[in-house]
Every structure is written in structure tokens, then in C-alpha cells.
Structure 1
Amino acid sequence: MPLDLLLCSVMFLLACGSLLVGYPVAFTLPGISVIFAGLGYAFGIFDMSIIGGVPQRIYGTMTNVVMMAVPLFVFMGVMLERSQIAEDLLESMGQLMGRIKGGLGISVTIVGALLAASTGIVGATVVIMGLMALPTMLNKGYSPAVATGGIAAAGTLGQIIPPSIVLVLLGDQLSSAWQASQLAQGNFAPTPLSVGDLFAGALIPGLGLVLLYILYQVLVAVFFPKACPPTVDSNEKIDLKPVLAAFLPPIILVVAVLGSILGGIATPTEAAALGAVGAILMAGYKNDKDNPMPVVVAGGAIFLLLLLGGLFDLRMGREEIPVMDYIAFAVSIPTLLAMVWGLFVSFMRVYRNRVIHEVVQMTAKTSSMIFIIMVGAALFTLIFLGFNGDYYITEFLTNLPGGRLGAFVLVMLVMFALGFFLDFIQIVFVVVPIVAPVLFLMDINPIWLGVMMAMNLQTSFLTPPFGYALFYLRGVAPEDRVKTTDIYKGVMPFILIQVLALVILYNFEGLVTWLPELIFGTGL
């Protein structure tokens, strides 16, 4: 075995092993990288000048416009979580659907999908649903397996339903790998891959997965009615006003964020800023429902500003400016002031209740963790490539039996297995930059690959005995009423559903690529 192959193999295995036993990612990746760079230099097979590219990588991370969306999406998710908006959603949906068998389980799935689209944070969604929905489901006679399985599966929808932090990080890494693979093939003007492409590609699979979950729960209600009885008296009247009050704000927020991206009005980073502002307004409304006027005014102003920005060119530095653009610009100034006023009032409401303090702290912690892992992973990838790791990975995957299918299945199995032990952030930053360029050389669509990877990681979050979502749920489930085996039993059907979804997406690639091509004209 060549010495460089031995060193890069041991480096990769040692990094994974160190992470498995609990060493901090921020120190493990750069520490192991530096050690093996020194070993390679001592044996005369590594060029130390490669490390000179690290500052450039770090600077590139700092100035990456796409990655600026990460703290904004994290802020949006944490703000919605800390504002207890999910409680209103679950309570309202439970009242609406609870009169039918399996209705509360279906409610959990729908609310999980809305929270996924609003927060994109798996752990937060599982914990919220486990704390609020699980006791009610158990008290009303739900089977522990049915209740916990539905909650764990709904909580993982944040992996695949946009706007998802997973898709933002995957989009950044896959974009770099896509550009590199195209340059290697002699294409010096490749079609760029954007996070918006992944958002559009994941929308239909994400919604389809929600429908499959609901279909399964309907079948359980039909064939095993005692496992999911009604939770609300069928004679009880439904008040639609609180239901609409709970559902409309998050739906409007999701439509505004996704619609601005898919409609070409805003970039993902700008849409993330819109989502953060919308989350502040929702939290402001939640903290003072008796005085909704500032929130309504700000929300209307944002809608009008988006409309003006989409219909008119508001830049004033041009040589020739049409009259209508002048009028639109004049209208936008008081509209902007109205938006700032409503946002300020909402912010002060959140500030007085000390919600903003927790949100900012959690956003800073999560964002700094992501970016420090990015820096360590950049160093790790550079040194891995310095040992010709990309060459050996390419040789290995291209010579596998089955060709394109064999290489794809192996990569997916490795990512699935790593998902038992490692966080998705670590997998995205360590594994994807190594294997993605090779898969792209095999004529694999990058949008389709990104969505398949996201759904694959989502499945590993659920798989016993190490799935992250299971640990989250086990931590909040009452030990005297829910056994660990109940959780494992409950998630198995949802794992099979996700595997079925992966098979469907593999055989019908158009389910992923059709919407990006329709909206952006992306023919990758």
C-alpha cells in the first residue's frame, strides 16, 4: 500500500474514531490534520505549502454570502421555539383534528412539518413535540409506540423541508464540489449550483414525505383504532378563530421566506433575514395579542416592500429612471419607516420578556459551532487532498461493481452509518467535500444528490439504536410510561417509509429536478 494512501486512510479513520468517543469536533479535525501533515512532511510525501491555503479558506468562509444565512435561519428557529408559538399550533390543531381516530397523531405530523419549515432544527422540534404532545397522547389512550414514532418522525422533517439549515450547508459544500468537478472536465463556465436550487428540489420530496406519514397514520387508525383513539368529544364545538390565529402567522412566514427565494425576489440570505424579521414580529404578537396593530402594520409594510421590489427597480443611481420607479421609490420610504416602527415595538416586547437574551445566546452558540467546524473541516480536507486522497477515492468508487449505482449506494450507506454517531454538520463538512466531486464525475445531478443526501441523513436520525431523534425523545419522554423499546418499535414504520421515499426518488429523479428547472431554468 502506498504510504500516502495509508496516511490519509488512517487520518480519516482516526478522525471518525475520535469523534465517536466524544472529542470536540473543533479541536479534533484541525489537531489530527496538523499531526498527519507533520508525519507526511517527515516522510517526504507532503508539501507544507498546502497549509498556506488555510487562511484563504477561512477568509472565504467569512465572506461567503450564502453562509450568512445560517445564523439568520438559526435566529428565526430559536425565536419561534422560545416564543412558544409551537404550543399554540399543537393546541389548535389538536382541537381541530382530535375528534377523529388518529387525529392527534396527524396533527403532530402537520405541526412538525410547519415547525420544520419554520425552524429547520431537528432537536428543537423533537423536544418541543415530546414535551407538549406526548403526555396528551398518552393520557388520551394512544399506544406509546404510535405516539413516540409519530413525534420522532415529524421532528426530523426539519432535515428535508426547506428552508433547512442542512440544505444551506449542503448547498455550500456541493456548490464548491460541483465547480471543481466541472473544471476537472474542462468546463470553465459551469452552471452554478445554488441553495435556492436545493430548496426548490427538496420541496416536493419533503411534502410527499409528509403525505406518506399521514397516509400511514390513517391506515393505523383504520386497522388499529384502539392504538390512536379520538382525543376530543365529537359534540364539542370548534372555534376556528384561535385555530386560524395560530396557523396563519407561521404559514405566512414560510410562504414569504420560500416564496421570495423561489420567486427570484430575494437570495437565500436575504430571505433568511426576512425570516428573522418575521419571527420577531410573530414573537411580538404572541407577547401582546391585545395590541396587534404594530405587527399588522409591519407585516403589511414588508409585503408591500416585497411587491415594490419585485415590480419596480428601486435603485436611484441610474442615469435614466422611469416615472413609475420614482413613484415606487417614494412609496417605499414611508412603507419602510412603518416596517421599522412595527419591528421596533415587537422587539421591545420580546426584550422586556427577556426572550431575546436567550435567542441571541443560542444563535451565537449554534452559529459559532457551525463555523468553527467549517474551519477545522477545511484544514482536514486540504491535508486529505494533499495526500492524494481525492485520487484514491476516485479510483475506488469508479472501480466498484455496478458503476454509478454501486458508487452512489456505497456513499449513501457510509453517510447513513456515520449518521448514527456523528452530527449532520460533521458529515456535511468532512464527507461531502471528499466524495461529491467523484460522484459528479459520474454524471450525477447535484440537486438530486443533495436532496438524496439530506433525506438519507434524516433516515439515520431515526434508526435505532443510535438515531439522534431517539435520544432527544428519550430525554423528554416519561420513563414510567414509555420504554425505549416502544420508541424503537414506533419509528420502524417511518424508517421504512423514508427508505421507500429514497427508492422512489432514485427511480423518479424528476420529482427533485422538475421544480428547479421550472423556476430557475436550472439544467445541471
Structure 2
Amino acid sequence: MALLLFLIICLVLMLGYPVALTLGGVSFLFALVASFFGAFDMGLFGLLPNRIFGIMNNQILMAVPLFVFMGVVLEKSRIAEQLLTTMGELLGRFRGGLIFSVFFVGVLLAASTGIVGATVVTMGLMSLPTLLKRGYSPAFSAGAICATGTLGQIIPPSIALVLLGDVLSNAYQQAQLKMGIFNPKSVSVGDLFAGALIPGLLLVSLYMLYTLFRLWRSPADFGSVTEQEVEPASLAKVISALLPPLLLIFLVLGSILAGIATPTEAASVGAAGALVIALLKRQLSVLALKEVMQSTVKITSMVFLILIGASVFSLVFRGLGGEELIHHLFANMPGGVVGAMLLVMTVIFVLGFILDFIEITFVVVPLVAPILLAMGLDPVWLGIMIALNLQTSFLTPPFGFALFYLRGVSGDTVSSGQIYRGVIPFVILQLLMLILLGIWPALATWLPSVLYG
């Protein structure tokens, strides 16, 4: 019955119903039916108020609205437009230079805003017309923009890593209690931020190496350009465009990695810093601030409502014996922990075709992570593996959100087929990065061990 509950929820989500209401509503109705047949104890819902209070009182999750606020303010301050224009002028004189400027700006936006939709839409509006005008391949240009926009999922500070950090911390403590450790340790968001830094930068390097390979094999896909076509950017303009986001990244990410501030404290610094940048750029007004606050409330409310719905689902799923079912499945899996990990990664990848990363984080990860961690896996490595896998959910056709974002702003300049063809090589590169991380876990665990022991 637990498996049937999971399948019904996935089916209802595919039909387009709201995530939070689907998780909570379907689970509650399923519990009523199951209790009628004596398969579920409705008294378990007495645990729900404490769970919801724990969610609303969670210090780690307080970083979510602050990071969202920071990202939305930077989006409204048009920092991305200035970065794209400046880097285009700086690198646009070279064949393929505009694609590399997209990668560079994407990394900066990922490390400062972390909002995939805003990044893809902004780069789609600003870069795609220029790329097509210069003769760049429409499919490759679309793929590069979509893939770069998803870097906000893995490059810290990332909202996805904040949510994963909270889920994995609870799962790690559950795993240690099962192993008889009654003074359990926890995995922090700072650990995940440090662990994601090297894999994130390596992923960008893979993008660039693939671009260089394409540039060598198919130079016609990158148009042609002469020095007279692009005005070189002045040093003052480059500094003016790069300094604000770099300083903000240093303050936020640097303070977390150095252990000076918690992610929540650093997020508050980032939110204040974003307001200062918007003020200095004269992009801050009462109307703009109202729009920022409305967007922040909407996104934060969605996240926390999904969390509450996921708590109802988790309660019912465990009450139906789902946890024992998964534990039995993993215990009898050929290949032991390696086989179990491969199964989980495959399931998450397939679910990424139809579900959003938030849904997978709150529904699937709490079910499988405690069992995997009890089998001896490193929590930081597991978290980064899941984060990289979830990143592909934004790119995988036909329901990848980054594809929808770009299709919505590109008009008739590129077709859906061209966007799908363009993202496939980048999905393969992400899977390659996932394999490399699976072979060499130290890519994720080395930096946290150096910083935090």
C-alpha cells in the first residue's frame, strides 16, 4: 500500500495538480481508506503538529527566504544585464567568445542569485538574439544557456543545497540512531556548500572543454566575427560590472566557508548587500521593493507549504510500512551499497523527467537517505551526488523547467526541437560529472574535511 501511495502521488503530480496539496491531500485520503481496512493507525496524525512546528521553527530553513530575497533583488537591479553586456564586449571579438561569456556570467549569477528561472530568462533575452545574429548554432546556443542557468542548483550558495542540508541532517541523525550512536552528529549546510564547490567548478570546466571541442570540430556553429564588429569594453566598465557580484559572493560564501557565519547569518548579509547594490545602481524604489517582497513571500510560502505536505506524506508512508519495504529492498539488492546507490540515482534521474527538484528533495530523499547513510555512505558525498542528479531535472526533456523558461522568452527564434537537441550534450556532461564524483568521492569530501575536519 505504501508503494501504491507513492505511485498515485506521482500520477496526480503529472496531471498538474499543486504539489503541496497533492502530497498532503492524497496522503490523508489514502490514510482514511487504509484505516478503514485496518492497515493504518489514524492516531499517528497526533505527531503532525510537532512536525509542522519543527519546520516553522527550523533555523536552517530561515536561510531560504533570505537567499530568495537576495536573488530577486539582484535580478531587479539588472546586474545580470550589465554582466552579459560587458563580458560580451570583452570576449565577443573572438570566435566562440560569446558562449564563454555566457558560461562566465552564469557562474557569477549562480553564486550570487541561485534562481534558475531568472538566470535562464535573463540570458535568453539578452544573449540568445546576439548569438543567433552572429551566426551561432541555435541548438548549441539554446543548450548552453539552459545548462548554464541550472548551475544555481549546484554552485553555492544554493537554495537546493539549503533544503538538501536540512533533509540530510535529519536523515543522518536517524541513521546514527539505528546504528546505536545515541549522540549523533549532523551534516551542516556549510559542509554541502564546501563539498559542492569543486564539483560545480569542474562541471563548468566540462562545459568549456566541450565547447572548445565543438569549436575545433565545427567552427561554423560559432559564426564569424571581426574586431570591428564589437566595441572593446573599458577597464572601468569591466570593474564596475564584476566588482559588486564578486564582493557579494566573497561576503556570503566566504563567511560560510571560513566558519565566521552560519548560512542563515550569511544569507542575511547577502540580502542586505543586494539592497546596497540595487541602491548604488539606482534600481531600488518603493515599487521595486514591493515586487521583490511579493516574489519572496510567494516562493517561500510555496517551499514551506510543500514541506508541510511532505511531512503528511512521510507520516502516512511510514505508517503503511514503507520504510521497512525500502530497507528490505536495499538489504536484498545485488551489489550491496553500490547496487542500492545506483538504484537510487537511477530513480531520481527518471523522476527528474516528471517532477521538480523540490518534490524529489522532500518526497524521495527522506525515504532513501537514512537507509543509505546507515549503510556507511558519507553524507556530504551523498548530498552532492543527489544535488548533481537533481540538476539534470531542469534539463531533461520533455518537462525540464529550464527548457520551458527559454522557450517562453525565445519566441520563434528557436524551436522546441532545437532546444531539446541542444541540451542533450549538456545532460550527458552532467551525467559524466556524476560518474566522476562516484568514482572519486574526494572531489566532494576533500574541501569540507580541510575546512571543518
Per the normalisation by structure 2, the TM-score is 0.97
Structure 1 pair 136–232 and aligned structure 2 pair: CA distance change class (3 A): farther
The equivalent residue for 2:83 is 89
Instruction: State yes or no: 1:387 paired with 2:320.
Output: yes
Is this contact kept in 2: 1:127–1:476, CA < 8 A?
A: yes
Name which of 396, 401, 426 aligns with 1:494.
426
Instruction: State yes or no: 1:457 paired with 2:390.
Output: yes
Is this contact kept in 2: 1:104–1:230, CA < 8 A?
A: no
Instruction: State yes or no: 1:250 paired with 2:183.
Output: no
Is this contact kept in 2: 1:113–1:157, CA < 8 A?
A: yes
TM-fit CA distance, 1:402: 1.6
Per the normalisation by structure 1, the TM-score is 0.84
Is this contact kept in 1: 2:357–2:393, CA < 8 A?
A: no
The equivalent residue for 1:266 is 261
Separation in 1, partners of 2:57, 2:44: 21
Q: Which amino acid aligns with 2:12?
A: S
How much identity, in percent, do the aligned residues show?
56
Instruction: State yes or no: 1:374 paired with 2:307.
Output: yes
Separation in 2, partners of 1:253, 1:173: 27
Structure 1 pair 237–35 and aligned structure 2 pair: CA distance change class (3 A): closer
**Deviation by residue 1:115-148 (Cα, 9 ceiling, x = unmatched):** 1111111111111111111011111111101211
5+ unaligned residues in a row in structure 2: which ranges? none
Q: Which amino acid aligns with 2:342?
A: V
TM-fit CA distance, 1:49: 2.0
- Aligned-pair Cα RMSD in Å: 1.3
Separation in 1, partners of 2:269, 2:361: 26
Separation in 1, partners of 2:113, 2:322: 36
Name which of 440, 449, 453 aligns with 1:508.
440
The equivalent residue for 1:342 is none
The equivalent residue for 2:23 is 29
Is this contact kept in 1: 2:128–2:141, CA < 8 A?
A: yes
TM-fit CA distance, 1:421: 1.4
Structure 1 pair 387–22 and aligned structure 2 pair: CA distance change class (3 A): same
Separation in 1, partners of 2:233, 2:32: 69
5+ unaligned residues in a row in structure 1: which ranges? 1-6, 288-348
Separation in 1, partners of 2:232, 2:363: 54
Instruction: State yes or no: 1:213 paired with 2:207.
Output: yes
Name which of 338, 346, 351 aligns with 1:413.
346
Q: Secondary structure at the match of 2:284?
A: helix
Separation in 2, partners of 1:230, 1:252: 35
Instruction: State yes or no: 1:350 paired with 2:284.
Output: yes
Name which of 109, 120, 130 aligns with 1:126.
120
Which of the pair has more CA radius of gyration? 1
TM-fit CA distance, 1:236: 4.6
Residues 51-450 of structure 1: matches in 2 within 5 Å?
A: 51-229=45-223, 231=225, 233=227, 236-287=231-282, 350-352=284-286, 354-450=287-383
Is this contact kept in 2: 1:179–1:190, CA < 8 A?
A: yes
Q: Which amino acid aligns with 2:357?
A: F
Report how many aligned residue pairs link the two structures: 452
Separation in 2, partners of 1:463, 1:9: 25
Instruction: State yes or no: 1:475 paired with 2:408.
Output: yes
Is this contact kept in 2: 1:140–1:229, CA < 8 A?
A: yes
**Deviation by residue 1:272-300 (Cα, 9 ceiling, x = unmatched):** 0011011101111111xxxxxxxxxxxxx
Structure 1 pair 103–400 and aligned structure 2 pair: CA distance change class (3 A): same
**Deviation by residue 1:351-374 (Cα, 9 ceiling, x = unmatched):** 34x211111000000000000000
Q: Which amino acid aligns with 2:46?
A: G
Separation in 1, partners of 2:359, 2:39: 27
Separation in 1, partners of 2:356, 2:276: 31
Separation in 2, partners of 1:196, 1:236: 42
Separation in 2, partners of 1:149, 1:263: 35
Separation in 1, partners of 2:76, 2:408: 19
TM-fit CA distance, 1:221: 2.0
Separation in 1, partners of 2:25, 2:57: 24
TM-fit CA distance, 1:478: 2.7
Separation in 2, partners of 1:454, 1:404: 19
Is this contact kept in 2: 1:100–1:229, CA < 8 A?
A: no
